[in-house]
Structure 1
Amino acid sequence: MNLLAAASRGFALGILLLATSWASAFQIGPLGTQHEERLTNEPNSTLARIAGTLGVLIKTPVHEEITHLGKWCGGEHINLATDTYCSGRDVGVASPYVIYGVRWNDLPPFRLEEGQGNCDYMGHRNVCKPQTIRFSTQPACWHCLFKDAERKARTKAIVGCNKTANSIQGNLMTRSHFGDLQFLHGMAHAADIHPVDTRAEILDWLEFAWKVSSKEILPSTYLKNIDNPTIQRHFGCTEWKVVDLYLLGRQDSASGLIHQIRDIAFGSVLHTVQDSFAAAHAEREPQPGAEQCEGSAFVSPAPIVEFHSYGAQDGALHDHDDSREAMTAVAQDRWPEAVQVTRNLFELQSDGAKWADASSYLQCVFTLSERRRSSSPGETYRRIDKP
């Protein structure tokens, strides 16, 4: 990510803006692990230096911490609010490949189609380079595309395969945050979507990712050939393979990533599930369930009342409930549900569970409440547009 020195001030301001407005899922840190940095051959030094100069950390690594806690990183729930040991960049309890996968849903690598790269940022034109884009390597381009999509998503649908008169072509990142792939974050892609439909998309995605993690789907498989309605609908028009989806730019054997794609896909499963416990993403019943999930050894979490949609949400309000503070709020009484469910999924993975074994529990995790209702921004998070 070689930025011109003359752009440093503008980029620094952009980082500050990003710090206050980036609508992620449960928050992730801006930098990957040192292991991830080595594997992707994409140093984070410039981004780290600028963020450090400002004294700004774009986000706290909440997803990473939940994942390490789910792998039984040390500590007790009663001390979780103040014990941040498991939130470090290089804790090393969960595999770095799982952490890479947990971060993938927010930061998938992508390339721009012809005509998509003319993004103007802080007075600088065409800031996107014709190569694989990651936040760590092209942060100005990434932020420019993100903010541009945030604006356009207010009036048009951002899609991949299903183009309509009122839609625009998105890339993997903008589709994930604002478009047709919001199920990656346990959310509906628009308002007034029936929860049964959103749940079906989420479970289809979890089936796909779990099958990659259990070797039931191989990295060389074309997405268009996978018998899965959601994968067909959103990726069936592409020539992408599974390995392209997860590892674009580093699909080569030498990087080592392709040999660990099972852990990467499992990390992506964790991200989607964890997000469904973030209040800005989905409303669940106030109390967790007390019954055992049918066909599983685990207790049912609180049922889902509503999947929220991001398009009409206020980004700052959304971010507040994706924070570490929100995640740890219940820790005096018990582990947060996101942590407990992550532990259960790690147990299934360590037992070598195939999708047929894991599906019963994941369906239970996404049980709908009897009070279920169609998607909305959620009254707590609704954006009030100025006249």
Structure 2
Amino acid sequence: MKVFRRFAAGVVFVQLIAVFSSASAFGLRPESEIDGKIKALAPRPPISRFWDEAAYVAINHFSHPVHERITNLIWDCKSEEECNQTAPGKSFAPGAVIAGVRWNDNPPFELTTTSMKECAGRTLWLPNYSNCWIKLFKDGEKRARSGETLDLASGTIIMLRSHFGDLQFLHAMAAGRHERAEETQSKILMWAEFTWKVANKEFTQGTLLSETNIPRLTNYFKSTETVQTLFTRGNPTHRDDIGILALGALLHTVEDSFSRSHVDRDEENGQDCGPGMPKRPGMIRQFLNYALQDSSAHAVEDEEDAFDLQLATVRPNAVDVGKSLKAYFDRGAAWNEVKPYIECIFAVIDKDQETSAGNFGK
């Protein structure tokens, strides 16, 4: 058993390194206040518990919580210690917004049917049930590379769709080999409207997605989902702060749009987004497509050094834009007020420009 466990640990580490090096967003470290309780109490075989413990160690050693750092900076952290603190309940930004920033990469999901018996009927997210998560992730990657469509109609779980399928707009990226910039932009604006209205408490925990009256939202998310089940399935920790959690999910999309392997932006030109509005970020030349990219080349632009370079050389950058959105949120701005600014953040030069791998091809 000891020999097997040593071997299994190596497998877990190698697979997790591969997963995090190919993740389609600025690096993050998935963990929450309830993770420890789930690892301790959830009924499953000893080997599954071992996988989760190995996953937790690997996550902490090999993931770089860049999204959390960006978000702490948006909340005006003052020191390196404050800005880099991502431990549950100790981050400088509120815990709920940090949970929201993590959601896009690590949305909770449930398998209704699966050959992996220990994975059925349970809410899955990293670092819990990591064996299930890794197997599903690698299978989804393989299916996407073969050209299979991973969307709502196919019944594919949300985690795979957000990485490889029709929900890649959650990371400010295009889905499909010929998607036009206008199409990607419209999906991002749809997501922005939904999350902003949750953040602004226009939609509550129990609001059905079918009741939001946001065009096309239920093309991507089940109409029977509520705001609560979508964002906090299996984890009640931040349900009372679900508005600010949704804001975090929007910030994740905005932050990703400043990664060079997600979006090709033009140089900023010093203009404002409009009278009395913040500065305009560089306009978007092209939304890139992860399915067409080399995962290793993509990952380089999502690491901490790439973000720090952008922070030093680009204005407005992801932090500047995040601060502006937070200012709108703090004063309770309605969607109609913030919409023109979000349209400015995601303004495209050529609406008919098709997606590609950019400079990150295989």
Name the TM-score, length of structure 1 as normaliser: 0.82
Residue 241 in 1 paired to residue 226 in 2? yes
Query: Structure 2 counterpart of 1:374, which letter?
Result: E
SS of equivalent to 2:150: strand
SS of equivalent to 2:15: helix
Please tell me whether the aligned partners of residues 258 and 318 of structure 2 are also in contact (alpha carbons under 8 angstroms). Answer: yes
> Separation in 2 of the partners of 1:5 and 1:222?
50
- Offset at 1:373? 1.7
Pairing partner for 2:149 from 146, 154, 157: 157
- Offset at 1:66? 0.4
Q: Which runs of 4+ in 1 moved over 4 A?
A: 4-8, 43-49, 51-56, 333-336
1:79 aligns to what?
Answer: none
Alignment of 1:87-166 (within 5 A): 87-90=84-87, 92-114=91-113, 117-118=114-115, 128-154=119-145, 155-161=147-153
> Separation in 1 of the partners of 2:9 and 2:26?
21
Alignment of 1:308-327 (within 5 A): 308-327=288-307
> Separation in 2 of the partners of 1:98 and 1:59?
19
295-304 or 319-328, which moves further after superposition? 295-304
Pairing partner for 1:37 from 33, 40, 43: 33
2:27 aligns to what?
Answer: 28
- Offset at 1:41? 3.9
Residue 376 in 1 paired to residue 356 in 2? yes
- Offset at 1:334? 5.6
Pick closer, same or farther for the CA change 1:40–1:107 going to 2, 3 Å. Answer: farther
Query: Structure 2 counterpart of 1:150, which letter?
Result: E
> Separation in 2 of the partners of 1:209 and 1:37?
23
Pick closer, same or farther for the CA change 1:275–1:354 going to 2, 3 Å. Answer: same
354-363 or 128-137, which moves further after superposition? 128-137
- Offset at 1:290? 1.0
Please tell me whether the aligned partners of residues 52 and 127 of structure 2 are also in contact (alpha carbons under 8 angstroms). Answer: no
Pairing partner for 1:58 from 54, 57, 62: 62
Please tell me whether the aligned partners of residues 17 and 58 of structure 2 are also in contact (alpha carbons under 8 angstroms). Answer: no
- Offset at 1:190? 1.4
> Separation in 1 of the partners of 2:56 and 2:37?
21
Pick closer, same or farther for the CA change 1:292–1:102 going to 2, 3 Å. Answer: same
- Offset at 1:257? 2.2
Query: Structure 2 counterpart of 1:15, which letter?
Result: F
Query: Structure 2 counterpart of 1:139, which letter?
Result: S
Query: Structure 1 counterpart of 2:12, which letter?
Result: G
SS of equivalent to 1:322: coil
Query: Structure 2 counterpart of 1:177, which letter?
Result: H
- Offset at 1:370? 4.5
2:203 aligns to what?
Answer: 217
Please tell me whether the aligned partners of residues 12 and 51 of structure 1 are also in contact (alpha carbons under 8 angstroms). Answer: no
Please tell me whether the aligned partners of residues 69 and 86 of structure 1 are also in contact (alpha carbons under 8 angstroms). Answer: yes
Please tell me whether the aligned partners of residues 289 and 299 of structure 1 are also in contact (alpha carbons under 8 angstroms). Answer: no
Pick closer, same or farther for the CA change 1:48–1:258 going to 2, 3 Å. Answer: same
Query: Structure 1 counterpart of 2:173, which letter?
Result: M
SS of equivalent to 1:144: helix
> Separation in 2 of the partners of 1:110 and 1:103?
14
SS of equivalent to 2:264: strand
Alignment of 1:250-329 (within 5 A): 250=235, 255-285=236-266, 287-294=267-274, 296-329=276-309
> Separation in 2 of the partners of 1:175 and 1:89?
26
- Offset at 1:128? 2.4
Residue 367 in 1 paired to residue 347 in 2? yes
- The one-character-per-residue Cα deviations of 1:205-259 (angstroms, maximum 9, x if unpaired) are 01001100101112211112321223121125x4211111001113xxxx35221
> Separation in 1 of the partners of 2:344 and 2:211?
28
1:208 aligns to what?
Answer: 194
Pick closer, same or farther for the CA change 1:371–1:105 going to 2, 3 Å. Answer: closer
- Offset at 1:42? 3.2
1:182 aligns to what?
Answer: 168
> Separation in 2 of the partners of 1:257 and 1:352?
20
Q: Percent identity?
A: 30
- The one-character-per-residue Cα deviations of 1:308-364 (angstroms, maximum 9, x if unpaired) are 111121111111011111111134446671111111111111111121111111010
- The one-character-per-residue Cα deviations of 1:238-281 (angstroms, maximum 9, x if unpaired) are 4211111001113xxxx352211011100001001111111111
Please tell me whether the aligned partners of residues 63 and 271 of structure 1 are also in contact (alpha carbons under 8 angstroms). Answer: yes
Structure holding more helix per residue: 2
- Offset at 1:88? 2.6
Pairing partner for 1:356 from 320, 336, 339: 336
129-138 or 262-271, which moves further after superposition? 129-138
Pairing partner for 2:14 from 13, 16, 37: 16
> Separation in 1 of the partners of 2:203 and 2:139?
35
- Offset at 1:56? 6.7
Pick closer, same or farther for the CA change 1:14–1:367 going to 2, 3 Å. Answer: same
Please tell me whether the aligned partners of residues 158 and 174 of structure 1 are also in contact (alpha carbons under 8 angstroms). Answer: yes
> Separation in 2 of the partners of 1:337 and 1:132?
35
Query: Structure 1 counterpart of 2:289, which letter?
Result: S
